[in-house]
Amino acid sequence: MPSPESMNDEPCPVARSVDVIGDRWSLLIVRNVFDGMRRFGDFQRSLGVARNILSDRLKKLVNAEILEMRNASDGTAYQEYVLTAKGESLFPVVVALRQWGEQHLFEAGERHSILIDKHTGKPVPFMGPISEDGTALVPAETEVQKVK
């Protein structure tokens, strides 16, 4: 791209959105947060992304006010990432992409799951989606049915 902020003056909403979340990793991080994932190491293992890239994307997502950091809910002194209201409103985007992919990018009967540990190759145990304020989110699968 010519300049880092090149799309920010684009008059098209789609173009601006693509500029913010239209890279290889951002939306996948957001998707994982929707599925209850909150910590750096979990993102890293699940996505198989390099640590520096992950660090950079998380910063950009926080900067774009899609994610925000807060103290970990368990005892540890570490931080965790949660969706802001702006981030949660990306839900329809993720659902639309998921639906399109399911319908057009999979063979009949092919298995599709979401959270896989890139090292062990095993599914990551489901953590249960939790919203920023602690209330439960509707699981993605359920929402897919509803939208359809």
Partner DNA sequence: CAGTATCCCTCAAGATACTG
Partner DNA sequence: CAGTATCTTGAGGGATACTG
Binding region for its own copies (CB under 8 A): 1, 11-20, 22-24, 27-28, 31, 86, 89-90, 92-106, 111-114, 116, 147
Find the part of the chain contacting DNA (CB under 7 A) among 17-25, 84-92, 96-104, 132-140. 17-25
* Min CB(148)–its own copies separation in Å: 10
Q: Does 42 bind DNA (CB under 7 A)?
A: yes
- Candidates 7, 15, 20, 55; binder of DNA (CB under 7 A) is 55
Q: How far apart are CA 62 and CA 96, in angstroms?
A: 23
For the CB of residue 147, give the shortest distance to DNA in the complex, in Å. Answer: 28
Q: Is 74 exposed, middle or buried (0-12, 13-18, 19+ CB in 10 A)?
A: exposed
